[in-house]
């Protein structure tokens, strides 16, 4: 699922929420946010020259390993490719894209070891990294892993990202 957003002559940032398993592509002056990114991974792609970006709120690593294929944007291996395609349709050159990834926490670290196959957060991070490598997109920022959830705000005006966590506070990327 994707949405094209365009707005002319708006001096203020307009914030839109990208829900779990969704993708959104927008341009300045929009900001895209993901709330409650626990084991999920938020992937921000940005073309600085065009001031166009996309945000995916990925829930699961691979569509091939799922019995429910009704919402492909939920899966790391599909969501990145879908977002890249959406951006290319808006004349964004893939060689201009940079990635920032957030999330992939082990929300049940008291019962699931970090290296367990049950650690969905780590599997999501790996799937996203693999897909970005396939598209030759450089990851310029990572705030992944750990055991706390995050909220992400991605500003199309400059490609900056603000990440908020309950325990750590706010970080700017």
What confidence tens digit (pLDDT) does each residue in 30-73 have?
999 999 999 999 999 999 999 999 999 999 998 887 777 778 99
Query: Bridge-partner residues for 139, per DSSP?
Result: 99
Listed in sequence order, the residues at least 6 apart from 70 whose beta carbon sits closer than 8 Å to its beta carbon are none
Q: Looking at the domain 14-172, which fold is it?
A: 60s Ribosomal Protein L30; Chain: A; (3.30.1330)
Nearby residues of 8 by Cβ (< 8 Å), 6 or more positions away: none
What's the rounded Cα separation, in Å, for the pair 130 and 126? 6
pLDDT in tens, 90-117: 999 999 999 999 999 988 766 665 566 6
Single pTM value for the model? 0.88
In degrees, rounded to 5, the angle at the alpha carbon of residue 143 between the alpha carbons of residues 140 and 147 is: 165
């Amino acid at each position: 699922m994707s949405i094209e957003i365009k707005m002319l002559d708006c001096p203020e940032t307009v914030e839109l929420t990208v829900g779990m398993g969704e993708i959104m592509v927008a341009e300045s002056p929009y900001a895209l946010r993901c709330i409650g990114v626990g084991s999920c991974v938020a992937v921000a792609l940005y073309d600085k020259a065009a001031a166009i970006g996309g945000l995916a709120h990925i829930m699961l690593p691979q569509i091939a390993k799922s019995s429910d294929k009704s919402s492909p944007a939920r899966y790391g291996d599909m969501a990145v490719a879908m977002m890249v395609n959406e951006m290319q349709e808006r004349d964004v050159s893939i060689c201009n894209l940079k990635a920032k990834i957030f999330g992939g926490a082990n929300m049940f670290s008291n019962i699931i070891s970090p290296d367990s196959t049950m650690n969905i957060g780590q599997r999501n991070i790996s799937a996203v990294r693999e897909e970005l490598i396939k598209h030759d997109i450089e990851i310029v920022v990572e705030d992944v892993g750990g055991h706390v959830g995050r909220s992400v705000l991605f500003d199309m005006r400059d490609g900056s990202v603000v990440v908020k966590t309950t325990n750590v506070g706010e970080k700017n990327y």
